[in-house]
Amino acid sequence: MVKKKVLFLVNKDNVIYNFRRELAFELLDKDFDVVISSPYGKKIDFMTERGCRFVDLKIDRRGTSMLNDLKLIRAYYLLLKQEKPDIVLAYTSKCSIYGGMVCRWLRIPYIINNAGLIETSNYNALVGLVLNILYRVGFKGASCMMYQNGRERDYIQPKLGNVHYRDIPGSGVNLTVFPFTSYPANDDVVRFNYVARIVDFKGINELLACAERIKAQYPNTEFVLYGDYDDDSYREKVTRLESKGIVKYGGIQLDMKPCIAAAHCVIHPSYYEGITNVILEHGAMGRPAIASDIPGCREAIDESKSGFTFPLKDVDALVEKVERFINLPYEEKVAMGKAAREKMEREFDRNIVTNIYIEEINRILAKNE
């Protein structure tokens, strides 16, 4: 019997490794042929060693070059013609829009998980119009849309007519891989993590401004930054602040668990998200979060119980919430961490997401037989 083939379209190795590997391995266990298309990164080796096949495909993730995007569409066309997958699973904007577009042309079933709405209001009217057209063209033929938050669903779904969809709790979090971990023994020094790409829309400007103000008032704090530089213009500023003892740069970590265990809280001032895995992973290990009050962050926090939210881009409000957390009694910080873990267990277990995907894949393949 010929195996059914599933093709994952992702824009970076950590997307498949950090957030989709449980699904990929579940499909392998169910005797699917699993193929991953992505730019190569070290985490791909982990996937191929366990039975996945890899196709290296370059993607200009943040670029706006029409020529590069046309090259990507052509590359996806050639890839799908060669691989002839039974179903395609697409993640993140360019993979979802352009991969979905090609799947639609070739009549290949596909599931979209856009994972973070590109707000058309952030651009001029022409760019906004183009984005809306791309959403329609790329997503309208989907066999299923997976929405990580209600804001994204309510924005995109009306453009797609009667396309089938499912609501999912983000990518979920593996509660075994990220186990509950005892809180730091004391809060003599309060440590805050920032875990994200270093780029403006992840809130790095707000984080650095907050760190400068807080360190001036509370020298017994630490701000540790983890992530790669998506925008090299920040290197000089981060290095300068590090030389002053205001922040520490922790680089790119293959295993974030020791970094999470050492922290008291995570700060996530992002501008847009699907459901942010940063908060989910910290919450699973029993760490509270302070995050932008946006779709994709607010769902992962029970306000004042497992963390705090603040208005988007409002540095004053962020500083106020960080001060509030610093001044909590140690026992209340510990209780917030426990509440964060309990919320992850109730609402964000990754098995929920994996099971929904398996249900939809089986439904779609049965329908097309």
Confidence of residue 52 (pLDDT cuts 50, 70, 90): very high
Confidence of residue 117 (pLDDT cuts 50, 70, 90): low
pLDDT > 60? residue 123: no
Question: Which tokens in the block code for residue 62?
Answer: 């943040």
- Over the stretch 287-316, which tens digit does the pLDDT of each residue have? 999 999 999 999 999 999 999 999 999 999
Q: Check: CB of residue 207 under 8 Å from CB of residue 249.
A: no
pLDDT of residue 254: 79
> Would you state the pLDDT for residue 119?
52
Q: What's the confidence (pLDDT) of residue 369?
A: 75
Per-residue pLDDT for 127 more than 70? no
Q: What does the alpha-carbon distance between residue 47 and residue 191 come to, in Å, rounded to a whole number?
A: 33
Question: Cα 61 to the chain's mean position, in Å?
Answer: 14
The pTM of this model reads 0.84
CB-based burial, 248-283: b 16+ in 10 Å, e otherwise: bbbeeeeebeebbbebbbbbbbbbbbbbbbbbbbbb
225 touches 250 (CB < 8 A): yes
Min mean pLDDT across 56-60, 114-118, 203-207, 216-220 is at 114-118
Percent of the chain with pLDDT over 70: 95
How do residues 221-247 score in pLDDT, each as one tens digit?
A: 999 999 999 899 999 999 999 999 999
What's phi and psi for 141, nearest 5 deg? -95, 10
Question: What is the Cα Rg of the chain in Å?
Answer: 21
Distance CA 121, CA 173 (A): 31
Q: Is the pLDDT confidence value at 122 over 60?
A: no
- pLDDT computed for residue 220 by the predictor: 97
pLDDT at 273: 87
pLDDT at 62: 64
Do residues 197 and 227 make contact, with C-beta atoms less than 8 angstroms apart? yes
Per-residue pLDDT reduced to its tens digit, 62-93: 666 788 999 999 999 999 999 999 999 999 88
**Which strands sit side by side in the sheet containing 110-113, from one edge to the other?**
53-56, 33-38, 5-9, 87-91, 110-113, 144-147, 165-167
- Other beta carbons within 10 angstroms of residue 26's beta carbon come to 17
Which residues lie closer than 8 Å to 88 by C-beta, 6 or more apart? 6, 7, 8, 9, 80, 99, 103, 108, 109, 110, 111
pLDDT in tens, 258-289: 999 999 999 999 998 888 999 999 999 999 99
> Using 50, 70 and 90 to split pLDDT, how confident is the model at 121?
low
Q: What integer best gives the mean pLDDT of the chain?
A: 93
Mean pLDDT confidence for 177-190: 97
What share of the chain has pLDDT > 90, as a percent?
Answer: 83
Question: If DSSP codes are grouped into helix, strand and coil, which group holds residue 44?
Answer: helix
Residue 196 confidence (pLDDT): 95
